[in-house]
Structures are given as C-alpha cells and as structure tokens.
Structure 1
Amino acid sequence: MSAVVSSSESRAGAFARVPAITAYFWIIKFLTTAMGEAASDYAVHRSPLEAVALGAAGLAAALAIQFSLRRYLAWSYWLVVAMISVFGTMAADLVHKAGVPHPVSTLVFAILLAATFILWNAVEKSLSVHSIFTLRREMFYWVTVFVSFAFGTAAGDWTAGSLHLGNLLSGVLFAILFVIPAIGYWKFGWNDIFAFWFAYVMTRPLGASFADWFGKPASHGGLGYGQGLVCVVLTFFIVMLVAYLSVSKRDVSPHSPPQLGRGTAF
C-alpha cells in the first residue's frame, strides 16, 4: 500500500504519532477498555449529566494535547485512549437509554465503523497503523478508535444482556474472537491490517465484559467488588505501565518517513 506525504514532510522527516504494536500495547489497551467501562458505570449511575459533560471535556482536552504534539508520547496517547474508553462507553449507553435496543445499536455502530474504514482507505489509501505520520491520518485513526469503542460497548451489552450470556461468558466469547485474528495472522497468513483491526475492535467488549464481571453485584452477573474499586485498580496498573513505557521507550517507532508496503500489525 502506498503512503502519500508532502515533499516538505519528506525533507523534514516524519515521526510516528502512534505507538509500535508490542505486547505492552495490547495489555494497556485491554486495561483501558476495562477501566473505561468501570469508570463510566460508576460515574453515570451517580450523576449522569455531570459525568457525560466531564467525560466530553476530558476527551476534548486529551485530544487537544495529543494533536499539539509532533510525535508519539506514551502518556498523551494513552490519555486519549482512556478518555475515549470512558466517553465512548457513555455514548453507547446513552443510545441504549434513549430506547434503542442493543442489537440495533450494535448494527448501527458496526455500519458506522465500516463506513469509517472505507472513507479512511479511500482518502489515505492505507489503513495501516504504521502509516500514521500526518495529522489527517491521525484524525481518521482517532475517529475509528472512538467508533470501535462505541461498537464494542454495544456488542458486549448485547451478548451479556439480550443474548443472556452474562458477563463472564461474554468475556470468554470475546477472548476467543480476539485470539482468532492473531492465530490467523501468525499461522495462516491473514492480511496484517485486517487482523490488527479485528483484534483491536474485540478488545473493547473483552475488557468491558470482564470489568462488569468483577465490578457488578451478583444480581447482575458479577463478583460484586464494585465499579469504583475496579476502576481504581485498573487505573493504577495503567499508570504504572505507561510510566514504564515513557522511560524505557519500548513502544517508540524509529524516526523515519512513512513506509511503503505492508506494515506488521502484530
């Protein structure tokens, strides 16, 4: 796949605006999806209007910081992911509270996600996360991430509630769906970009299902530890891992112009 950059960008050099895909990436992604579910449920059930307003403001501030930076920094990137996790959950939950059934909202968000991928590919000619060297591509990236979180939230609620699988079985289902593209990529030569985004989308309902299982009371299919405690514990681990990456730079791609050809997503 070809990547198009301006001559000025090529002369000046370009920096990756998203992290390299390592084991740390998948671990923190899973933790942030679970944290966002727990944080959203805890806040919205206590003060819904204020929670949504704060979530939107937090996401806007995180994006403003991220877009002001010239290159990837672990703390700013994962702050945006965390805020999208929180606000994306709120958005999907508000759609359901407005009376839209989970199967319908899941389908709608799936269509929006597909449309986002189609538009991104039509404009940029690549969906590879290894080609995120420009502001416009990063904007497509974050829109895709947001819609994927909303879709994952609706899908997880659909399987756990409407399909009566419960939180634990939903988590197991999405864990299997998460592993399938990894196996397909490593063993059967699946397209790396497809495999990456398939796994990426699955992390949202996977994390949310296990967060609900740990946090919700037994009457709602959980272990009853409480959403607040789950949120605090997950946030602690996220902060520790991001702090480590900020120092070690284990997730930083080398300084280079956008690459031609296929990227390695796993």
Structure 2
Amino acid sequence: MTYELSDTPEASLDANGPARHARRLGWNKVPEVTVYFWIIKVLCTTVGETAADLLNEKAGLGLTGVSALMSALLAAVLVVQFRTATYRAGVYWPAVALISVVGTLISDNLTDNMGVPLETSTTVFAIVLAVVFVVWYRRERTLSIHSIDTRSRESFYWLAVLFTFALGTAAGDLVSERMDLGYWLSAVLFALAIAAVGVAHFALGLDAVWSFWIAYILTRPLGASIGDYLSQPTGDGGLGCGTVVTSVLFLAVILGLVVYLSITRKDVADRASVTRQTA
C-alpha cells in the first residue's frame, strides 16, 4: 500500500499513458512515494536546516566557504546518483539530504551575505522553479516522478528539487520571522497547509502531480520549523537541544530508515503495483 497523493502515477500531466509507464518502470530513478518517502523527506529538511546552521557555526569557513564545500560534496553524490542504473536508497537519500543543506545555504547567502530581502528571494525562487517546471514539461510532457527514467528527466528532477528547497527555506523564514509566528506555530501552519493539499487532491480532485510538488515544497519549511524549534535556545522560542544533538538525532533516524529500505526495498515499485494503480 502506498501513501502517495495520486493513485494514477502519470495523472493528467503525462501524455504517454500506462503502457509507456510499465516499460519505464525498471529504470525509474526515484522511490515509490510511500509513507517512508514523506517521513525521510521531512527528516532531511530538518537536517538541512540544523546542519547548515551547525556547519556555519563550527566549521570556521564562513557561510561562503561552507556553501562551496557542501556544493562540491553534493556534486560528487549526484555524479554517483546519475551513474546508477535505477533507484538506490543509499545513494538517493544522501543526495536529498545534501541538496537540502545546499538549498538552505543558497537562501542564507542571499539573505545574510547579500542582504536580499526574504520577500525578494522567495519571489525569485518561485519564478525560477516555475520556469524549471515549464521547460521540463514542454520538453518531456510530464512532471511525474514515476517517469524519471532518462538523463534529461533526472536533470530536471534534481534541479526542481534544489529550488523547492531554496524556495521552502526562503518562504519558511519569511513566515516564521517576518510574521513573528515562532517555530512551533510555523510548523503547525505548514502541517495544516500540507493537510489542505491532501484534502484538495482526494476530495476536490486537485491534479496528482501538482499535489505532490506543492506538498514537496511545503515539507521544507515544515522540517525547518521543527528543526529550529528543537535546536534553538529556549529564550528564542526553541527547546534548546542545540544543532549538534538535533542533527545527529535526525541523521541517525534517516540512516536507520535508509538501511531498512535498502534491505526490504519497500519503496521500490514493481509491475504489479503499477498495474493496480493504472487499472
């Protein structure tokens, strides 16, 4: 059983149909969207926030130096990801965790080093992400993550993921800081927004692919708000656990889940599931 926002993976944004999806199945480079997917995604976004803060505080490289280091590490992991023939949990999820850190650092660099207002960076990231989606769809005729089976689609996918993290970071900071809601209320707000997307899809017929990507964007500020709430000092509205404890704790949970999925392959789609979903 999957916990995806769609029971027809190719939904209305893929013109290729179920037969082509079955042919592509063995080459898909991303996991099946199960409850594990969303749990690890939120955990990765939390780590992206706390790890970025930790590295900036402890590494002694400055925000620019940390950004360069993490970008180089992300590039190396993505090279491995692109060279794999199909989805591998032990490669895919480290890439997501690192792209979460890099997306956070991109937003932080614009805000802290360049003085770009959060309103501006949020708008710019939203526009860039929209452009990525438009070009991706015009070229491939699909935005479904069940169709990441070529170099081109995989490139568009990771580019979109990067800007969802950057957009989520900027938008999350804008809401929590400028609207002065605090970390806990911000987390509740974004959780409710994700729930609203689910209701809009299941009850009101919101397109499955767009439902997925909207929820994907919203999990970024949700995870960041959770991470800040746990790690920030009590005087600032957090629980005071610190970035080290929070990052290590969430990384340990991510590692455990990735090992579990690597062994059980519960997030790898098979032809039977596709047949059920497209019937």
Of the candidates 26, 48, 68, which is equivalent to residue 83 of structure 2? 68
**Residue 20 of structure 1 aligns with which residue?**
32
**Residue 15 of structure 2 aligns with which residue?**
2
The answer (yes or no) to whether the contact 1:130–1:263 under 8 Å persists in 2 is no
In structure 2, what residue type is equivalent to 1:87?
V
The answer (yes or no) to whether the contact 1:3–1:124 under 8 Å persists in 2 is no
The answer (yes or no) to whether the contact 2:194–2:219 under 8 Å persists in 1 is yes
What are the Cα deviations for residues 40-98 of structure 1, in whole angstroms up to 9, with x where unaligned?
A: 01111232244222211110111011001010000100011000011111111001011
Residue 231 and residue 208 in structure 1: after superposition, are their counterparts in 2 closer, same or farther (change >3 A)? Answer: same
d(CA) in 1 for partners of 2:45, 2:278: 25
In structure 1, what residue type is equivalent to 2:189?
L
d(CA) in 1 for partners of 2:267, 2:99: 20
The answer (yes or no) to whether the contact 2:25–2:269 under 8 Å persists in 1 is no
**Residue 98 of structure 2 aligns with which residue?**
83
CA apart distance, 1:13 = 7.9
**Residue 35 of structure 1 aligns with which residue?**
47
**Given the alignment of the two structures, is residue 111 of structure 1 paired with residue 124 of structure 2, yes or no?**
no
Aligned residue pairs, count: 256
What are the Cα deviations for residues 142-178 of structure 1, in whole angstroms up to 9, with x where unaligned?
A: 0000000000000111111111111111111111111
CA apart distance, 1:202 = 0.4
Identity %: 42
The answer (yes or no) to whether the contact 1:193–1:263 under 8 Å persists in 2 is no
In structure 1, what residue type is equivalent to 2:85?
R
**Given the alignment of the two structures, is residue 154 of structure 1 paired with residue 170 of structure 2, yes or no?**
yes
The answer (yes or no) to whether the contact 2:118–2:170 under 8 Å persists in 1 is yes
CA RMSD of aligned residues (A): 2.2
In structure 2, what residue type is equivalent to 1:171?
A
Query: In the TM superposition, what are the counterparts of 1:226-265 in structure 2 within 5 Å?
Result: 226-254=242-270
CA apart distance, 1:263 = 7.4
| TM-score when normalising by structure 1 | 0.91
The answer (yes or no) to whether the contact 1:91–1:150 under 8 Å persists in 2 is yes
Q: Is there any run of 5+ residues in structure 1 with no aligned partner, and where? A: none
Q: Is there any run of 5+ residues in structure 2 with no aligned partner, and where? A: 1-13
Of the candidates 175, 180, 196, which is equivalent to residue 164 of structure 1? 180
d(CA) in 2 for partners of 1:72, 1:111: 29
**Given the alignment of the two structures, is residue 194 of structure 1 paired with residue 207 of structure 2, yes or no?**
no
| TM-score when normalising by structure 2 | 0.87
**Given the alignment of the two structures, is residue 141 of structure 1 paired with residue 157 of structure 2, yes or no?**
yes
The answer (yes or no) to whether the contact 1:15–1:71 under 8 Å persists in 2 is yes
**Residue 72 of structure 2 aligns with which residue?**
57
Matched residue SS, 2:95: helix
What are the Cα deviations for residues 11-45 of structure 1, in whole angstroms up to 9, with x where unaligned?
A: x9841110001000000000000011000011112
CA apart distance, 1:102 = 0.9
In structure 2, what residue type is equivalent to 1:35?
V
